């Protein structure tokens, strides 16, 4: 099944967050440019990439301003996979 992976920018540009091997049919989007606040779009994203991004992209002190899905992910509550 095809899904969207999030990739790093900068030094690790092009590498997926989950470090999966590139597969035909999958898409790759730079995490910083990804429309992750769009619930419909986010459902197509690799859960492993999402989880890692939620942990990497926000410091604990930034969580007040973080999107709801990031807070939920870091709290270990589902990833919007319902
Ligand atoms: Zn992935």
Gap from CA of 38 to ligand 1 centroid (Å)? 18
Position 78 pLDDT exceeds 60: no
- Contact status, residue 49 vs residue 17, Cβ threshold 8 Å: yes
Tens-place pLDDT, residues 8-48:
988 888 899 999 887 889 999 999 999 999 999 999 999 99
- Rounded Cα distance between 17 and 30, Å, is 10
Distances (CA, A) of 62 to 32, 33, 40: 16, 19, 24
Mean pLDDT value across the chain: 89
pTM above 0.85, yes or no: no
Residue 53 in tokens:
């991004």
Gap from CA of 18 to ligand 1 centroid (Å)? 4
Gap from CA of 15 to ligand 1 centroid (Å)? 10
């Amino acid at each position: 099944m095809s899904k969207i992976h999030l990739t790093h920018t900068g030094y690790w540009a092009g590498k997926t967050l989950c470090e999966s091997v590139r597969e035909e049919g999958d898409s790759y989007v730079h995490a910083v440019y990804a429309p992750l606040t769009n619930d419909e779009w986010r459902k197509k994203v690799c859960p492993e990439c999402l989880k890692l991004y939620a942990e990497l992209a926000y410091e604990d002190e930034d969580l007040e301003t973080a999107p709801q899905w990031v807070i939920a992910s870091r709290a270990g509550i589902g990833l919007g996979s319902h």
